[in-house]
Amino acid sequence: MSDIAVIGLGAMGTALAGAFLDKGHSVTVWNRSPARTKALAAKGAMVAASVEEAIGSSPLIVACLLVYDTVHQVLDPARQALSGRTLVNLTNGTPEQARAMSVWAAQCGADYIDGGIMAVPPMIGGRHALILYSGSGQAFDSHSGRLDALGTSKYLGEDAGLAPLYDISLLAGMYGLFTGVLQALALTGKAGIPAGEFMPLLTSWLQAMQGGLPKWAQQLDSGDHTSNVVSNLGMQADAYVNLVDASRAAGVSTELILPMQGLMRRGVTAGRADADLSSLVALLQSSEQSI
């Protein structure tokens, strides 16, 4: 028997198995392409000949495969072996997929924990690797000591969909940041300004702007978006026109920035010109679309 079985040894699964080994846990691994087991075997991992053998080797099964369909393709034929085990699925997915997999795991007689990895493989095992978990609290309490080998664990609650909800919401913030950075670099680059010259200004500007986000949380939780507003939506909507016009004039695509302009205009039309930008969250929560 091993402490943990890791199923799926892509870039992330390999890092997960390596971190468990580094912290002194015994690990059994399985991967569709056996070549990927070699480096881990050299570090002390046991290599299972089949998924059933991997599941049978350990009370704690960590799956990290491409998508949820892959998890089903791999685990469905071996479902009987899951009875009495805890399945931790760290594959990226949606809250709905996680809840459905929780039901499926219960039908197999397994405890289920869903997870979201907020890290890239080289970060795994370090404290800056945030791993979100949700699902069976009892199973999480039993196994958190082992799971802590992967980074900083955060348990969010019994609803298995919570980890992917937090995961994709954090990714939404990241992609919003990347979207703006791409536009900024396209504009300045087209003007011949080296990225290396502009980037320090951009990173310090973004750091300064993130300082205002806790106020958004207060506004959203209190419902008051109009007290002590220093940069109201009406002003920002007018200034945003210049970003769109300048991009067009420079021959830079506006495909990333027009949706935000549409939302700002919708906010102004809805009578929120004096409110803070945080008031746009409520508009996003309605199914109406500006574009």
Ligand X SMILES: NC(=O)c1ccc[n+]([C@@H]2O[C@H](COP(=O)([O-])OP(=O)(O)OC[C@H]3O[C@@H](n4cnc5c(N)ncnc54)[C@H](OP(=O)(O)O)[C@@H]3O)[C@@H](O)[C@H]2O)c1
Q: Token pair 């080296």 is at which residue?
A: 194
Q: Which of 4, 29, 51, 65 binds ligand X (CB under 6 A)?
A: 65
Only segment of 43-51, 64-72, 177-185, 197-205 that touches ligand X (CB under 6 A):
64-72
Between CA 12 and CA 97 the distance in angstroms is 20
Residue 67 or 246 with smaller CB distance to ligand X: 67
Is position 217 an interface residue for ligand X (rule: CB under 6 A)? no
| 19, 22, 23, 24: CA torsion to nearest 10 | 130
The interface mask with ligand X, positions 12-31, x = CB under 6 A, is: xx-----------------x
Q: How far is the CB of 90 from ligand X (least distance, A)?
A: 6
Is position 11 an interface residue for ligand X (rule: CB under 6 A)? yes
Q: How far is the CB of 24 from ligand X (least distance, A)?
A: 23
111-118/4-7 β-pairing: unpaired
Exposed (0-12), middle (13-18) or buried (19+): which is 4, by Cβ within 10 Å? buried
Residue 121 or 189 with smaller CB distance to ligand X: 121
Residue 92 or 278 with smaller CB distance to ligand X: 92
Q: Which of 4, 9, 61, 132 binds ligand X (CB under 6 A)?
A: 9
Q: Are 63 and 89 in contact (CB under 8 A)?
A: yes
Is position 89 an interface residue for ligand X (rule: CB under 6 A)? no
Between CA 287 and CA 10 the distance in angstroms is 37
Closest CA to 65 of 99, 97, 106: 97
Q: Which of 1, 38, 39, 73 binds ligand X (CB under 6 A)?
A: 73
Q: Tell me, letter by letter, the H, E, C secondary structure of 56-108.
A: HCCCEEEECCCCHHHHHHHHHHHHHHHCCCEEEECCCCCHHHHHHHHHHHHHC
Is position 10 an interface residue for ligand X (rule: CB under 6 A)? yes
Residue 46 or 90 with smaller CB distance to ligand X: 90
Only segment of 3-11, 37-45, 215-223, 271-279 that touches ligand X (CB under 6 A):
3-11
> 107-136: which residues touch ligand X (CB under 6 A)?
117, 120-121
Kindly state the number of chain residues that form the binding site for ligand X, as judged by CB under 6 A: 21
> 31-50: which residues touch ligand X (CB under 6 A)?
31-33, 36
Integer distance in angstroms from the first to the last C-alpha of the chain?
A: 56
Q: What is the DSSP letter of 243?
A: H
Is position 74 an interface residue for ligand X (rule: CB under 6 A)? yes
Q: Which of 47, 52, 59, 70 binds ligand X (CB under 6 A)?
A: 70
Q: Are 40 and 23 in contact (CB under 8 A)?
A: no
Residue 34: partners with Cβ closer than 8 Å, 6 or more residues away: 47
What is the Rg, in whole angstroms, of the alpha carbon atoms belonging to the chain? 23
Is position 279 an interface residue for ligand X (rule: CB under 6 A)? no
Is position 64 an interface residue for ligand X (rule: CB under 6 A)? yes
Q: Are 157 and 140 in contact (CB under 8 A)?
A: no
Nearest residue to ligand X, by Cβ distance, number only = 10
Binding site for ligand X (CB under 6 A): 8-13, 31-33, 36, 64-66, 70, 73-74, 91-92, 117, 120-121
